[in-house]
Amino acid sequence: MTRHITRTTLGTGAVLIGSALVLTGCGSGFSGGDGGDTPSGGGLTSSDDALTVLIGSSGDAETAAVQSALDAWSKESGTDVSLQVASDLSQELSQGFAAGEPADLFYLSTDQIAGFASNGSLQAYGDELKNKDDFYPSLVENFTVDDTFYCAPKDFSTLALIINSTMWADAGLTDADLPKTWDDLAAVAKTLTTPEHVGLAFGAEYQRVGTFMAQAGGGLVKDGAAIADDAANVEALEYVKSHLADGTFAFAKDVGAGWGGEALGKQSAAMVIEGNWITGAMSNDFSDVDYTVAELPEGPGGQGTLQFTNCWGMAADSPNQQAALDLVEYLTSADSQLAFSKAFGPMPSIKSAAADWTADNAALAPFLAGADYAQFPPNQDGASDVIADFNAQLESLKTADPAQILSSVQSNLAAVVE
């Protein structure tokens, strides 16, 4: 079993599902600029205007890494670019569009894209990317609305099983016991559960419980239709409920933790389901806890996990979209993404960087392996509201009827996606 990971402090550049965004304003695609904007041959505006980039940063490491990349591109291209770090990215994006002065490029999450696309705020440039075919297909799908690929995935994260190595060894478990199936997971969770800590903990939310739905062969949306009440999802929630009831699984809040990483760090759980952003928290706050990363086990429907990502959104009102496109291609190159990964933790969104990333992060390879079978939260406009309601209901899963919960989600989700 791999022991404690001693690497550069890692954070996350992939923001999880957030609250619903109030979308205001729309873009014409051609606003005035001092440089005299004109559409380029690819339909993008072009001018001498400087670029602005708006991000929501996980911390100083991410801000510094992005600033360094922008400085290098600016020196190479001759185009000035300024970085703006938002304190509330959703709010500042909305305000920028409403005022008709959006940043040229910005971090854009999957739950925001449909709303901004529908009101004309976004420039769809995905098909013009020289490296379009290098992105993982599921990430491209994340940022495709009505068959239009809008923006380049900037990085991504998946969920895996994170194990306290000391607790594992103390329980007499070895590498041979790493869970491959739901039965295996239930067995090791039981073995690891003591009066001092639970066997497995995770957030009381679809963004964690949804891994079991995927492993059962379910999910929330398939082929454009809501499938929340599918029998596979009922089976998944029944499985989780049964082990919440027997005390071998627990929600993080029920073991005194705000999230899975804290539960692992405080040693109130022997295993947690979390993303690769956990490595930064463990290095910074719980450096004395040894841990191992493993792929999540298979369920009745096979392997399954969830992925989370952002893209580089481009404003329809940007007067210099051609330069913005060039900058995106630079930021999503293998060299740039590997530098970002080393600085603050996200996995590269392009297949050509996989081998180098794995070589540099062998202990974290299970996260990247999940890219082959990961599902992503629905990206339809309004889906984040449905998921928020789902999460509220999941908090009482231990005593609730899974089929009833999923029936409610089905009704709400169908109104959004169908």
Mean pLDDT of 327-349: 95
Select the more confidently predicted residue: 5 or 284. 284
pLDDT tens column, 26-61: 333 333 334 445 444 458 999 999 999 999 998 898
Mean pLDDT of 318-323: 97
The DSSP result for 331-373, as a single string, is HTSHHHHHHHHHHH-PBPSBGGGHHHHHHH-GGGHHHHHGGGT
Q: What is the pTM of this model?
A: 0.85
Size of the chain, expressed as the number of residues it contains: 418
Residue 218 has what DSSP assignment? -
According to DSSP, the β-strands at 305-314 and 144-145 are: unpaired
- Residue found under tokens 């706050």: 285
> Is 23 a residue whose pLDDT tops 80?
no
From the list 389, 415, 177, the residue with the least C-alpha distance to 297 is 177
> Is 20 a residue whose pLDDT tops 90?
no
Do the beta carbons of residue 264 and residue 291 sit within 8 Å?
yes
Mean pLDDT of 378-407: 96
Which residues have C-beta within 8 Å of that of residue 287, sequence separation ≥ 6?
none
What is the reported pLDDT for 59?
85
What is the reported pLDDT for 280?
82
Confidence of residue 1 (pLDDT cuts 50, 70, 90): very low
Which residues have C-beta within 8 Å of that of residue 372, sequence separation ≥ 6?
303
CA atoms lying within 13 Å on the CB side of residue 371: 25
Domains, the chain, ordered by start: 38-157+308-375 (3.40.190.10), 158-306+378-417 (3.40.190.10)
pLDDT tens column, 108-134: 999 899 999 999 999 999 999 999 999
Three-class HEC string of 154-165: EEEEEEEEEEEH
Mean pLDDT of 352-378: 95
User: What is the separation of C-alpha 81 from the centre of its chain, rounded to a whole number of angstroms?
Assistant: 26
What is the reported pLDDT for 283?
87
Query: If DSSP codes are grouped into helix, strand and coil, which group holds residue 163?
Result: strand
pLDDT tens column, 161-219: 999 999 999 999 999 999 999 999 999 999 999 999 999 999 999 999 999 999 999 99
The DSSP result for 112-133, as a single string, is HHHHHHHTT-B---GGG-TTGG
Instruction: Please tell me the distance from the alpha carbon of residue 379 to that of residue 221, in angstroms, as a whole number.
Output: 10
Tokens read off for 285 = 């706050």
Mean pLDDT of 98-113: 95
Instruction: Please tell me the distance from the alpha carbon of residue 161 to that of residue 211, in angstroms, as a whole number.
Output: 11
What is the reported pLDDT for 163?
98
Do the beta carbons of residue 28 and residue 101 sit within 8 Å?
no
Residue 263's H or E segment, with its range, is helix 260-265
Confidence of residue 345 (pLDDT cuts 50, 70, 90): confident
> Is 93 a residue whose pLDDT tops 90?
yes
pLDDT tens column, 299-309: 999 999 999 99
Q: What is the CB neighbour count within 10 angstroms for residue 67?
A: 17
108: left (phi over 0), alpha (psi -120 to 50) or beta: beta
What is the reported pLDDT for 58?
84
What is the reported pLDDT for 287?
93
User: Percentage of residues in the chain with pLDDT exceeding 90?
Assistant: 83
Mean pLDDT of 50-75: 95
pLDDT tens column, 151-175: 999 999 999 999 999 999 999 999 9
Mean pLDDT of 353-368: 96
Instruction: Please tell me the distance from the alpha carbon of residue 323 to that of residue 169, in angstroms, as a whole number.
Output: 54
